[in-house]
Amino acid sequence: MHICVLGAGVIGVTSAYRLLEDGHQVTLLDARAQAGAGTSLGNGAQLSYSYVAPLADPSVWTHWPHYLFSADSPLTLKPKPDPAQWRWLIQFLAASNAARVQRTTIELLQLAFFSRDEMAHILQAAPIDFSHRTAGKLVMYTDPAGLASARKQIAFQAQHGCQQEVIDAARCLEIEPALGKARRNWAGGVYTPSEEAGDCAQFCQALVERMQANPNFRFLPSTTVSGVTMRDGAIASVRTATGAIDAEAFVLALGADSAGFARQAGFRLPLYPLKGYSITVPLDDAMSQAAAPQVSITDISRKIVYARLGNRLRVAGRVELVGMDASIPPRAIDELSNGADELFPGSINPANAARLSPWAGFRPATPSGVPVIGASPVRNLYLNIGQGALGWTLACGSAALLAAQIGGRKTAIDDAPFRYTR
């Protein structure tokens, strides 16, 4: 079967790869000049298979005034006259209860562990270079009450296969000595030795290069979908500036742009973009290399993550519900660079201040945090959307789940939580 995959971020690329493995003819297209050049380009780089807590959480009810009015809140909401934003917010608040969060966590853990196995499957077939490493991860707390709450979450996740431990500040510094110079008073942290990191964009580009050796694959970069032609309740073709693209089936993996495509096809998706920012710090001198962490770090109070990618340090953070505003305000980049300087003094060489590669991306999120994978209301259109901030972590598992559904095979995990519902 000829399948056209719309979108060459990490979700679309891995979907194309698994469908090609299944023997399908695959066309992959993207508006950008190369794969992984959108939201996948500058993400947090952490493959956090054991840390999948959704943004929807009971605590949002007490923090809501902070999110709306505080300048230093890591989550920013700018209400807009946009019905999609308000629908999403209402559903998000409805999902912010303890019972739903527990169920979501279990569902995401199952998909994340499956994704970890599928990543191993891809790398066993033919190793690719994307600065991949099993570095372990520390989630750092300054608040003893927050650490106590984390202990309860770790105990819950242990029942579902997670191997994590709550450790004191001294043990955290043993695991990651670079934290010893941080201008913070740590209460302790959560340590997960099995967590990984890697450059998502490099992974996408390397996987596309591998697929291009297969005669059943073609990649169409710089190809923007401008419309859709429907026939008898199915998609006949998608329209682009260079002509129509016909296929027997289509996979929607356009990230935050998927909601607009779905409207053209006659249905609605529960998606809203969560804007985030990152910088990539060059570590090209001995001082900065020694100052930067080897272990992946999450500063839970600032909601900033740090991941070592060879001689680079990816620093990412913030969640903003501001629509599709692609601007990168200096304050957002200052917040990340100041955070890096506070935790890892010396990691940013002043001579490199102009080489931090500021980035902003739109993480396509569902209100509950559970992605939508599988059949859509349109007969030959399949969905792989809504992974939010966990796109890199969940990509390989989401792709394998989708390929099994399209192939009519029994799925390796229960796919019911991920199916589209009206």
Q: Could you report the per-residue pLDDT of 195-249, keeping only the tens digit for each?
A: 999 999 999 999 999 999 999 999 999 999 999 999 999 999 999 999 999 999 9
Do 75 and 190 share a domain, yes or no? Answer: yes
CA distances (Å), origin 70, targets 64, 325, 327: 10, 20, 20
Stretch 349-353: mean pLDDT, rounded? 87
Domain boundary among 365, 382, 404: 365
pLDDT of residue 126: 81
> What value does the mean pLDDT take over residues 167-171?
97
Do 100 and 176 lie in one domain? The reply is: yes
Residues 241, 281 within the same domain? no
Q: In total, how many domains does the chain have?
A: 2
Identify whether residues 35 and 51 lie together within a single domain.
no
Q: How far apart are CA 262 and CA 267, in angstroms?
A: 6
* CATH classification at residue 248: 3.50.50.60
Report the pLDDT value the prediction gives residue 66, as an integer from 0 to 100.
63
Same domain for 156 and 68, yes or no, is yes
Say yes or no: 192 and 330 in one domain. yes
pLDDT at 136: 97
State pTM to two decimals: 0.96
Range of the domain at 11: 2-41+202-268+368-418
Same structural domain for residues 397 and 308?
A: no
190 and 330 part of one domain: yes
Q: How confident is the model at residue 71 (pLDDT cuts 50, 70, 90)?
A: low
70 pLDDT band, cuts 50/70/90, is: low
| pLDDT value at 64 more than 70 | no
Same domain, 58 and 32: no
Query: What SS3 string covers 1-58?
Result: CEEEEECCCHHHHHHHHHHHHCCCEEEEECCCCCCCCCCCCCCCCEECCCCCCCCCCC
Residue ending a domain, choose from 338, 365, 392: 365
Over residues 19-50, the pLDDT tens digits come to 999 999 999 999 999 999 999 999 999 999 99
Q: Is the confidence at residue 308, as pLDDT, over 80? A: yes
Specify the pairing of strand 25-29 against strand 312-321.
unpaired
- pLDDT computed for residue 65 by the predictor: 66
Instruction: With beta carbons less than 8 A apart as the criterion, state whether 82 and 323 touch.
Output: yes
Q: Are 260 and 13 a contacting pair, CB within 8 Å?
A: no
**In a shared domain, residues 72 and 177:** yes
pLDDT (mean) for 8-23? 98
Structural domain ending residue among the three candidates 325, 348, 365? 365
Asked if 396 and 118 touch (Cβ cutoff 8 Å), the reply is: yes
Residues 250 and 148 occupy one common structural domain: no
Tens-digit pLDDT profile for residues 252-278: 999 999 999 999 999 999 999 999 999
- In percent, the amount of the chain with pLDDT more than 90 equals 87
Q: Which residue has the tokens 């006949």?
A: 236
* Mean of pLDDT values over 391-416: 97
Residue 60 has pLDDT above 90, yes or no: no
- The CATH number linked to 300 is 3.30.9.10
Q: Which percentage of the chain shows pLDDT scores above 70?
A: 97
pLDDT, mean over the chain:
94
Mean pLDDT, to the nearest integer, of 115-141? 95
Mean pLDDT computed over 291-313: 96
pLDDT in tens, 316-335: 999 999 999 999 999 999 99
Please answer whether residues 362 and 391 qualify as being in contact, where contact means their C-beta atoms are separated by less than 8 angstroms.
no
68 pLDDT more than 90 = no
Q: Read off the pLDDT of each residue in 108-127 and give the average, rounded to a whole number.
A: 95
Q: Are both 73 and 163 inside the same structural domain?
A: yes
For the segment 2-8, the average pLDDT, to the nearest whole number, is 98
